[in-house]
Amino acid sequence: QVHLVESGGGSVQAGGSLRLSCATSGITYQYGCMAWFRQVPGKEREMVATIWLGGGNPSYAAPVKGRFTISQDNAKNPLYLQMSNLKPEDTAMYYCAAKHTGGSCQLSAHQYDYWGQGTQVTVSS
């Protein structure tokens, strides 16, 4: 059973930085995707960044491109999201997700198989 646990959220002022971590366990497949999503109350969960399981081919949503970096050294190590130059509109619950697939990682939230419990990020102006 795949298990994902996020950490690293918190409160920060605009312009600050945070690094989110996602500890993974139970991933036995060789090919897949890892992703970070975020959600604010009343809105759909939106993709922030994706990467192939174990690293490679990072991709970012337009609002975070150039400010956020997704990384994973290998399939057994944690997934990270380095967030810099944070803005109040980045305030959300951030979720780690995983999917067993050999195809594209550019998928909607409901297409991902496994989820963590989320970590809150709050950016004040």
62 pLDDT band, cuts 50/70/90, is: very high
Q: Is the predicted pLDDT of residue 30 greater than 90, yes or no?
A: no
Q: Are strands 32-39 and 10-13 parallel, antiparallel or unpaired?
A: unpaired
> What is the per-residue pLDDT across 66-115, written as a single tens digit (0 to 9) for each?
999 999 999 889 999 999 999 999 999 999 999 998 889 999 999 999 99
Q: Kindly report the backbone phi and psi dihedral angles of residue 88, in degrees, each rounded to the nearest multiple of 5, phi listed first.
A: -55, -30
Measured CA angle at 35 (ends 34, 41), to 5 deg: 150
36-72 burial by CB neighbour count: b if 16+ within 10 A, else e?
bbbeeeeeebebbbbbbbbbeebbbeeebeeebbbbb
Residue 94's beta-bridge partner residues?
A: 38, 119
